[in-house]
């Protein structure tokens, strides 16, 4: 017989509403075993055929930084190739597209005459846009664009800032002109004159483009940031861009973001950057503020790891049981309210790092009534509700982990969520498997989204209690709830 009656459980806390989107997330990943394949798969997502293809060297970002506006104007994908020959998979994609024209970006040091001749042998007309340095290449690309009176100015010795604004610049046919940090190259000055530029947008902070350069530009404005991730975030904020769909790419390499930028422009989508193993705080901030729920991920798991985006766009209520004057179950020197709050916070941190937007019912030793907890689940726009508890029984031999679900609302999804989390808890904690059980506990039967109540183990059992008191096993509990939730959504 259970000592505690869960129907009368109360949770502590003033709820903290961190994030609250209103719709389910959708995610598309465009990947491949290498950057050539990613570019090809981007092409296949965006073009059934194309009269023109843009070709750049797969290692030379400098030539390619300014290519997106030209590619968008020509409605052409950007494909990658080796220097001495056209990569076979890229050649196959050109054939699939039934292209008639190839525009090579960069000199023969980037794509050789031999490679150009391969294209000609395929029946394509070949145009090369080159120059003795990257600044001249950018100038020469700008000559192919319409005069719109506006240009983007980006640091030419690194790639992230230029890529962050590439979809916006491409869609508006604004040239991306390059500069040094402290000096404005003569080629860029010439391009500003040639294109009758009357206003400029500097992309990047003063550490990338100094105020000395800014002073030489016509009507300059600046989109800066403490790092490349914040710059990408601020591009969205500055131009108030639509975030109905957002492209996400590694900010540590150029290739996937470059080839994906034209498809992003076609879909009127901005580009955010990430670290391969986790979402930076700046990227999470704009996802939260704009309640972004639809993503196109560029690159494979080595570029954007699944764990860093596994819950991207999902909103989850985490509900640590009890609190304040309601300690919950107690035994073996432990109190339930302390255990579950620790596990809840550990779970929150892990889920946030995977892109989730978290609503916590409590983050301190405070009290919240049952009806208030259910109201949080129902009014927060969340996708699921997870209440965290530890069990107790009069018989100290009772032990193991179990997860409860209710059939009043979202019964199928609730049961599936319970099953996935139960499997992970038993596996990671080494507890006895007491299974998934249906019960009409108020905290889940009054909540209209997929909802479960987790019993981590028996605080009244010495073996289970030793695990519940261990920081290592509490982290394993959090990991189990996290991975079970990931499994449910994926």
DSSP alpha helix (H) spans, 240-290: 255-266, 281-289
Long-range CB contacts for residues 220-223, cutoff 8 Å, separation at least 24: 220/153, 223/165
CA 430/CA 433 separation, integer angstroms:
9
Let me know: does 28 contact 297? Beta carbons within 8 Å.
yes
Q: In what order do the strands lie in the sheet with 220-223?
A: 176-179, 150-155, 199-203, 220-223
Closest CA to 43 of 99, 104, 121: 99
CA 466/CA 69 separation, integer angstroms:
61
**Cα 244 to the center of its chain, rounded Å:** 14
CA 66/CA 80 separation, integer angstroms:
15
Query: Which member of 233, 402, 424, 455 is catalytic?
Result: 455
How long, in residues, is the chain? 490
CA 431/CA 308 separation, integer angstroms:
28
Strands 125-129 and 11-12: unpaired
Residues in contact with 38: Cβ distance below 8 Å, sequence separation at least 6, in sequence order: 30, 31, 32, 255, 256, 259, 260, 298, 299, 300
Residues in contact with 34: Cβ distance below 8 Å, sequence separation at least 6, in sequence order: none
Give per-residue burial for 422-440: e unless 16+ CB within 10 Å, then b: bbbbbebbebbebebeeee
- Structure tokens that stand for 292 in this block: 């972004």
Let me know: does 53 contact 103? Beta carbons within 8 Å.
yes
Strands 246-250 and 294-298: parallel
- 424 in catalytic set: no
- Structure tokens that stand for 302 in this block: 């080595």
What H or E segment, with its residue span, contains residue 233? helix 228-239
First to last CA, the chain: 37
Residue numbers annotated as active site: 455
């Amino acid at each position: 017989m259970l000592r505690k009656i869960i129907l009368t459980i109360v949770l502590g806390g003033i709820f903290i509403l961190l994030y609250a989107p209103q719709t389910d997330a959708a995610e598309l990943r465009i990947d491949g075993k290498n950057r050539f394949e990613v570019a090809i798969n981007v092409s296949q997502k965006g073009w059934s055929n194309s009269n023109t293809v843009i070709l750049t060297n797969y290692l030379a970002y400098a030539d390619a930084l300014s290519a997106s506006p030209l590619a968008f104007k020509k409605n052409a994908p950007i494909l990658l190739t080796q220097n001495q020959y056209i990569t076979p998979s890229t050649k196959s994609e050109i054939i699939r597209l039934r292209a008639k024209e190839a525009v090579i970006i960069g000199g023969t040091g980037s794509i050789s005459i031999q490679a150009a001749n391969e294209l000609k042998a395929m029946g394509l007309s070949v145009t090369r846009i080159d120059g003795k340095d990257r600044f001249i290449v950018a100038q020469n690309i700008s000559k192919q664009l319409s005069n719109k009176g506006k240009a983007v100015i980006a640091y030419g010795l690194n790639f992230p800032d230029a890529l962050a604004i590439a979809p916006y610049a491409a869609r508006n046919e604004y040239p991306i002109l390059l500069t040094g940090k402290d000096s404005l190259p003569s080629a860029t000055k010439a391009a500003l004159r040639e294109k009758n530029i009357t206003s400029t947008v500097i992309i990047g902070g003063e550490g990338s483009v100094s105020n000395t350069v800014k002073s030489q530009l016509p009507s300059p404005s600046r989109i800066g940031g403490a790092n490349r991730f914040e710059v990408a975030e601020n591009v969205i904020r500055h131009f108030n861009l639509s975030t109905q769909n957002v492209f996400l790419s590694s900010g540590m390499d150029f290739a996937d973001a470059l080839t994906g930028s034209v498809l992003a422009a076609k879909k009127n989508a901005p580009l955010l950057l990430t670290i391969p193993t986790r979402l930076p705080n700046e990227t999470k901030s704009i996802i939260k503020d704009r309640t972004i729920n639809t993503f196109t991920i560029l690159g494979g798991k080595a570029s954007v790891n699944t764990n860093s985006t596994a819950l991207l766009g999902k909103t989850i209520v985490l509900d640590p049981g009890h609190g304040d004057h309601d300690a919950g179950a107690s035994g073996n020197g432990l109190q339930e309210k302390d255990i579950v709050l620790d596990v809840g916070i550990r779970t929150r941190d892990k889920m946030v790092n995977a892109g989730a937007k978290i609503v916590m019912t409590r983050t301190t030793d405070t009290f919240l009534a049952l009806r208030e907890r259910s109201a949080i689940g129902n009014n927060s726009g969340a996708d699921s509700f997870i209440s965290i508890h530890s069990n107790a029984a009069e018989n100290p031999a009772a032990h193991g982990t179990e997860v409860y679900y209710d059939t009043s609302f979202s019964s199928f999804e609730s049961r599936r969520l319970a099953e996935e989390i139960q499997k992970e808890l038993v596996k990671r904690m080494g507890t006895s498997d007491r299974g998934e059980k249906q019960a009409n506990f108020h905290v889940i039967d009054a909540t209209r989204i997929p909802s479960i109540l987790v019993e981590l183990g028996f605080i009244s059992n010495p073996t289970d209690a030793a695990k519940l008191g261990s920081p290592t096993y509490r982290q394993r509990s959090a990991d189990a709830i996290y991975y079970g939730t990931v499994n449910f959504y994926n």
